[in-house]
């Protein structure tokens, strides 16, 4: 897993979420939603990293599935922050694009691993 795209993208996304959290707290004085975003948005990369040390293929799939769930939850928080005018449309679209890539990668990894496990 030297050039691990999902690992790199989820880490970069986590950094972006940390900065967004910082912005929301400092400039928008929003602390509740941004904390939820911080938790779910950084958990994606943590779970991807945990999956690298899987005990079994089932464990790997399980951790990646939880990462996928966290990505879906993060999508909810980003949507809510946008609809409540805490982030602008440009930030929303850019963040959503990054997250969509991660969602697609995780979905593909899970499906491929399940398929290869059944062989």
**Residue pLDDT, tens place only, 45-63:** 999 999 999 899 999 999 9
CA distance 85 to 63: 33
Contact criterion met (CB below 8 Å) for 41 and 79: no
pTM score = 0.94
Q: Is the pLDDT of residue 118 over 90?
A: no
Sorted by where each starts, the structural domains of the chain and their CATH numbers stand as 5-114 (1.20.1440.60)
CA distance 47 to 43: 6
CA distance 77 to 31: 13
């Amino acid at each position: 897993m030297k050039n691990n795209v999902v690992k790199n993208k989820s880490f970069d996304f986590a950094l972006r979420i940390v900065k967004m959290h910082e912005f929301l707290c400092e400039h928008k004085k929003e602390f509740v939603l941004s904390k939820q975003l911080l938790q779910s948005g950084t958990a994606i990369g943590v779970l991807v990293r945990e999956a690298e040390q899987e005990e079994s293929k089932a464990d790997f799939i399980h951790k990646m599935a939880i990462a996928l769930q966290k990505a879906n939850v993060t999508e909810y928080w980003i949507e809510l922050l946008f609809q409540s005018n805490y982030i602008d449309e440009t930030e929303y679209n850019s963040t959503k694009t990054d997250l969509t890539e991660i969602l697609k990668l995780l979905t593909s990894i899970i499906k491929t691993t399940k398929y290869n496990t059944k062989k």
